[in-house]
């Protein structure tokens, strides 16, 4: 990719072609979260896997995804991003082949973990390369477009899975879902090799091996026990103990990072990044939003099938209008003035929370026959609001981060999203199953679903509150510098893509 003074020579067509390759690859990682959920019964029947091993297949993807994000983000800032991106993308495609050919559940678990690792390596590079492709005042549109693509992929994924499996109609139809990854990867990865070029110029050196060694177990112990919570595997004292150990390791990781940066060495995460305006608050906001989105979608999907008697495909079709609303919200977000982004975040999360409150109320009060239509209608409000807020928050977080550090900043956002998703799903599922037999106003056992969805609404309200508080705090302090020296090194702007 050309130097900054050559950016104007990079045609708009080529930049958007590169963006399309990045977005398609990123969409695959999200698609594998949403589409596999629909295929779980078929996978269990075909492979003979137990409930715990099926759960491990899901958890393994999330854990590996989260564990590789920060190290890969750092790698993208010290090594050629194109190379790191291609390594992650290739690993994801190869792992998809393993999943498609898996002779038993053990190989499927291994393949899913490798998929998550590949996704964790390539995703930070996607945001980093976009930062280089577009000037700061141009980024709202591509970031909003990416958010729209990922949101639509998440919502269309179950529909795609249901249609594909129904068309094939065999016990092993779920394998085709992984061959889709291989087919798309065979197209986008060669295009990436052609389109993505790294700029010349100095790069930061140094990789925090101790930080990586601490972060991996911390993520494993903090996320895995919570992600594994389900009806068949309720939380136990051991679950709490493992989470506490993970929290302790996380604390040691933070101490190590501070100690290393104080000594003038490069750490896995540079604390100076949090001195950029809105980054710290935006990362937490992103975590809350994804906790609400992932857990809310999961509870609604389960609830419609168990409480309204829908099939997986019928459930996905009822959620299609919400996918279109997400596209509309992201399209609008790309056209709103950037200086109003905190208002967009606050309004978007507030509207999204209101939609989830209505969905929760519908589960508690609507008759079973009317539940799908009511939920489908009010879910439009939720997805439109969150689709407004997500790109605004992401753009606000990355606006002042230098381009050559954007991979690690992007990986911090992704890490928060994966952790938020895991915790949100665990909390919502625990609530859903613990009081799932208690009747509500409709006289059916829907209290668990209602409370779990209201919990996800509370996550969006927390995101809205934090966005308002962050703006108020920054406004009271006045202008904040947009370039902060990193620990032990003067910061300079790097070449653009």
pLDDT value at 3 more than 60: no
pLDDT value at 251 more than 80: yes
Confidence of residue 458 (pLDDT cuts 50, 70, 90): very high
Average pLDDT, stretch 58-80?
Answer: 79
Position 473 scores a pLDDT of 65
Which tens digits make up the pLDDT trace of 124-162?
Answer: 888 778 877 877 677 767 876 777 677 777 767 777 877
Confidence of residue 402 (pLDDT cuts 50, 70, 90): low
Top mean pLDDT of 3-17, 197-211, 414-428 is at 414-428
CB of 19 closer than 8 Å to CB of 144 = no
Secondary structure in 3-state letters for 16-37: HHHHHHHHHHHHHHHHHHHHHH
Of residues 463, 190, 482, the one with CA closest to residue 344: 463
pLDDT value at 492 more than 60: no
Position 95 scores a pLDDT of 94
| Range name among 13-22, 369-378, 400-409 with the lowest pLDDT average | 400-409
Confidence of residue 481 (pLDDT cuts 50, 70, 90): very low
Alpha-carbon distance 172 to 6, whole Å? Answer: 51
Our CA dihedral for 333, 335, 340, 343, rounded to 10 degrees, sits at -30
Of all residues in the chain, the percent with pLDDT exceeding 90 is: 11
pLDDT value at 485 more than 50: no
Which tens digits make up the pLDDT trace of 44-57?
Answer: 777 776 666 776 77
pLDDT value at 478 more than 90: no
Position 98 scores a pLDDT of 94
Our CA dihedral for 279, 282, 288, 291, rounded to 10 degrees, sits at -80
Position 494 scores a pLDDT of 32
CB of 35 closer than 8 Å to CB of 160 = yes
Position 68 scores a pLDDT of 85
Between 328 and 191, the higher pLDDT residue: 191
Alpha-carbon distance 243 to 240, whole Å? Answer: 5
pLDDT value at 59 more than 90: no
pLDDT value at 491 more than 50: no
Distance from CA of residue 477 to its chain's centroid? 32
Average pLDDT, stretch 92-102?
Answer: 92
Position 81 scores a pLDDT of 82
Position 223 scores a pLDDT of 74
| Range name among 47-51, 81-85, 215-219 with the lowest pLDDT average | 47-51
pLDDT value at 10 more than 80: no
CA distances from 301 to 80, 132, 175, 268, 346 (A): 41, 38, 22, 37, 27
Give me the chain's average pLDDT, please: 78
Between 336 and 222, the higher pLDDT residue: 222
Position 179 scores a pLDDT of 92
Position 90 scores a pLDDT of 93
CA distances from 87 to 92, 125, 127, 414 (A): 9, 11, 16, 18
Position 393 scores a pLDDT of 82
Burial call 417-439: b when 16+ CB within 10 Å, e when fewer: bbbbbbbbbbbbbbbbbbbbeee
Answer yes or no: CATH 2.60.40.3140 is held by domain 4-476. no
């Amino acid at each position: 990719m050309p130097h900054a003074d050559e950016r104007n020579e990079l045609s708009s067509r080529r930049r958007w072609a590169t963006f399309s390759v990045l977005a398609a690859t990123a969409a695959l990682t999200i698609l594998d979260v949403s589409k596999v959920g629909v295929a779980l019964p078929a996978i269990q029947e075909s492979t003979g896997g137990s409930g715990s091993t099926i759960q491990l297949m899901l958890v393994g993807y999330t854990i590996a995804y989260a564990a590789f994000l920060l190290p890969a983000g750092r790698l993208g800032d010290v090594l050629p991003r194109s190379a790191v991106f291609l390594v992650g993308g290739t690993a994801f495609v190869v792992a998809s082949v393993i999943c498609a050919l898996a002779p038993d559940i053990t190989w499927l678990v291994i393949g899913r973990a490798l998929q998550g690792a590949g996704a964790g390596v390539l995703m930070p590079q996607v945001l980093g390369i976009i930062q280089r492709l577009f000037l700061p005042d141009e980024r709202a549109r591509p970031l909003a477009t990416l958010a729209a693509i990922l949101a639509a992929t998440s919502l269309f994924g179950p529909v795609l899975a249901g249609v594909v499996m129904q068309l094939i109609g065999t016990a092993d139809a779920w394998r085709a879902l992984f061959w889709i990854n291989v087919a798309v990867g065979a197209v986008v990865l060669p295009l990436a090799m052609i389109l993505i070029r790294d700029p010349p110029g100095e790069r930061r050196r140094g990789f925090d091996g101790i930080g990586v060694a601490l972060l991996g177990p911390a993520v494993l112990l903090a996320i895995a026990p919570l992600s594994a919570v389900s009806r068949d595997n309720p939380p136990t004292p051991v679950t709490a103990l493992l989470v506490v150990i993970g929290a302790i390791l996380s604390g040691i990781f933070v101490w190590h990072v501070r100690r290393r940066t104080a000594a003038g060495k490069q750490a896995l995460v540079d604390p100076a990044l949090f001195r950029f305006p809105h980054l710290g608050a935006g990362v937490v906001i992103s975590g809350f939003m994804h906790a609400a989105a992932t857990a809310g979608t999961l509870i609604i999907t389960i609830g419609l099938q168990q409480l309204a008697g829908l099939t997986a495909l019928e459930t996905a079709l009822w959620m299609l209008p919400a996918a279109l609303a997400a596209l509309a919200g992201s399209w609008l977000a790309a056209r709103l003035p950037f200086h109003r982004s905190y208002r967009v975040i606050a309004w978007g999360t507030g509207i999204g929370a209101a939609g989830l409150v209505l969905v929760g109320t519908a589960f508690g009060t609507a008759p079973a026959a009317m539940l799908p239509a009511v939920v489908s209608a009010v879910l439009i409000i939720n997805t439109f609001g969150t689709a407004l807020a997500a790109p605004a928050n992401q753009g606000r977080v990355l606006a002042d981060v230098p381009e050559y550090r954007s991979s690690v900043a992007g990986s911090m956002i992704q890490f928060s999203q994966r952790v938020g998703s895991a915790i949100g799903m665990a909390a919502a599922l625990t609530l859903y199953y613990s009081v799932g037999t208690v009747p509500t106003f409709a006289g059916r056992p829907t209290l668990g679903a209602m409370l779990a969805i209201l919990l996800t609404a509370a996550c969006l309200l927390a995101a809205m509150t934090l966005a308002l508080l962050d703006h108020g705090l920054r406004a009271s302090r006045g202008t904040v510098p947009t370039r902060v020296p990193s620990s032990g090194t003067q910061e300079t702007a790097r070449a653009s893509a």
